[in-house]
Every structure is written in C-alpha cells, then in structure tokens.
Amino acid sequence: MKEWYLMTPRKQTTSLGGYEVDAFCDYKDAAFDETVNSDIGDTVEIYNHDLSQVKIVRCKIQGNSPESQLKSLERIGLFEHYTVKAGMYVRYDNCYWLVYGYPSYNGVYEKAILQLCQCKIRWQIANGDIVERWCNVTSASKYDVGEFSNNSIILSSNNYTILTPADEDTYLLDGKRVFIDWHNTTPTKTFKLTRADDVLCKYGEEHGGVFGFIADKTELNVEVDRPDLQVCDYVDTSITVQPPQTTTQAVNATIFGRNNITIGYPRNYSVKFKNQDGEEVDIIDYTWGIDCGFKEQVQCVREGKTFKVTVQDSDCIGQSFKVQVIHNSEIMAEKTVVIEDTY
C-alpha cells in the first residue's frame, strides 16, 4: 500500500509527503497553466528566426531584478513544453530576446535562457535580397585601448561577440561585413564577422540552435558600403551590364583576288580588315564561304590567311560564284568570280 500511495516509494512517509503519482501528473499541467494565467504570469510574443511567424503565449519571465550588468542582459523563461527552440525570439518588455542554450523540460514546464538583442544587422545574400537579424552583442575587447597602429597609420580597433539564430542565411555570415552602430539611420562603424561557431550551440532540428561570431572592426568603404541601407559591400542588382559591342559594324572587309578563274587552275584570295578610321585591324575568327548552285564542283582550301579555290568541271564554264568573308554569322564582303575556259 505504501508503494502505491507515495510519489517516491523508497522514501518514508512524512507529514510533507503523500501525493499520489497519477494525481500529480494529472494536476501539474493545469497547475502551471493556472500559474502563468494569473497575475504573476507574463504575456509575450514568440517569433521564428526571421520574424515571419509569431504567436502570443502566456509564460513566466524570471530574473527581472538582476544584481550585475551582465545579468541584466539575461532572463529565464518558463513555458509550456514544446513552446520555444534555441534561435527563436521572445518579444518581452519592448525588446527582442534570443532563446539561447538548450531548452530543458522538468516534467512541468520548459525552461529557456533568454539573451537581450541590442542591435539588428543587415546584409545582402547571393540573389541580391537584403536580410536582417536581431542579435546579442557582448564585448570581446573589454580591455583593448581601441586603436591599432603601425608606422604609417592609426586605425580604430574593437571586437564584439555576436549571437544570431542558426538558419540558412546566418550560416553564410562568416566573412561578411556589417554595420554595428548606435546611429541606426546613419551608421559608420563597420565590422567583419569571423570565426563562426556553428557547432557548439547547434542542438538539432527539435531544439534549434544559435551561431556565434567574432566581429572585428574594419574601416568604412564609401565605394561599396551603404549607410542609408545599413548594408556593407552592397551590389546594385538593378543595374544591367550591357554586353560588349561587336566590331562587325565598325570594320570593313575587302577581298583581294581576280574576278575570274580558269578551269583546272587554282585561284588565291585574301582579305584585309579596316576600321572606320582606315586603320588595318586583325580579325582571326572569320570564315570563308562559297555561294552558288554547284558547290560540289568548287574545291576550297584555307591556307593561313589565303583562300584557294579550284573548279575542275568544264560544265561550269560560263557560270559564276561568290567568294564570301563571314564574321559573327554576317557577310562582311563578297566577290563575284566568273569561270572561264582554257584558251
């Protein structure tokens, strides 16, 4: 009877014990639900990694009376089971908080660590779209003097540790430059994200994950950085690159060679190309062609820059054909040649 009655049968009955296991399991969910829906509970918004999905839930946020500056950037959230994953955002107290760490479940509620997101970073992905994520920022150079110098120049120096949700876009952040600046509308401070940590805080599909980066201070590049868009290394995808113009229209071709050919004797032809200023230019990707109704009786051989033509069939005497120079599928020049008998 004792083993049936006690939650932990191995312990002796005390004045503080005596809850049946089944009754406790039936009551625990209702008890937590009653707690978070009371005056001590909190209403928060739960967002996915890119803020495209949101749901409103009741929970309990703890840690609102921190005893240090670091603790003031952290809260503990108590939620119903399967409510949050690492890499989600909790909108609480007019701020975004990143779910950080492995959410744990004790059989009554799910417990998650929340880190305050102080800034939003923006960057451009391969297709030209601009994406953004809220992130947690902590100093990685607390005791740095803030300058780096050599014999020629003094540059500003500062490092941060950045935490972002783990997703397909943030996975490619390693090596990207971003603005991290208190002046959101006209930022000037740029940082390069390096040393991506995509293993330590990745907890699988069921529990999510976060990525960590080191943000190293760089200098503003006015050629490619767009403070108005808050994007570094911006590429304007609306500009269409025009293909290079071909030289066919600006170049004239002239075929050199006789206007007649004798049966059984070869005739050589050559070509010269000149631009609109009359200067000779060299075009190598041209072809020779023959235009007539009896091409099978015309033997053609290209020898270097020379085009050798021979007609053996006497039935072709008195007829004519055209020698052509072709470039980029266009006829640049042609010469009419008359076939003559031997006399």
pLDDT single digits (tens) 321-333 = 999 988 888 888 8
Domains 2-116 and 251-340 share a fold: no
The topology (CATH level 3) of 119-218 is Thrombin, subunit H (2.40.10)
* C-alpha pair distances (Å), 190 with each of 129, 222, 284, 286: 20, 11, 49, 52
Q: Is the pLDDT of residue 135 over 60?
A: yes
Residue pair 113/76 in contact by the 8 Å Cβ criterion: yes
Q: What is the pLDDT of residue 302?
A: 86
Q: Which residues contact 138 (CB under 8 A, 6 or more apart)?
A: 73, 160, 161
Classify residue 28 by its DSSP letter. Answer: H
Say if residue 278 is exposed, middle or buried (CB neighbours under 10 Å; 0-12, 13-18, 19+): exposed
Q: Which residues contact 130 (CB under 8 A, 6 or more apart)?
A: 122, 123, 124, 229, 231
Q: Is the pLDDT of residue 153 over 70?
A: no
Residue linked to tokens 């409510």:
83
CATH code of 2-116, in short, is: 2.40.10
User: What's the mean pLDDT in 249-271?
Assistant: 87
Q: Which two tokens stand for residue 125?
A: 């992905």
Domain ranges of the chain: 2-116, 119-218, 251-340
CATH code of 251-340, in short, is: 2.60.40.1080
> What's the whole-number average pLDDT of the chain?
84
Q: Which residues contact 39 (CB under 8 A, 6 or more apart)?
A: none
Q: Is the pLDDT of residue 342 over 80?
A: no
Classify residue 295 by its DSSP letter. Answer: G
User: What's the mean pLDDT in 52-76?
Assistant: 93
Q: What is the pLDDT of residue 176?
A: 94
Q: What is the pLDDT of residue 1?
A: 42
Instruction: Using pLDDT thresholds of 50, 70 and 90, give the confidence band for residue 21.
Output: low
Q: Is the pLDDT of residue 152 over 50?
A: no
Instruction: Using pLDDT thresholds of 50, 70 and 90, give the confidence band for residue 6.
Output: very low
Q: What is the pLDDT of residue 155?
A: 45
Instruction: Using pLDDT thresholds of 50, 70 and 90, give the confidence band for residue 145.
Output: very low
Alpha helices for 66-219 (secondary structure H): none
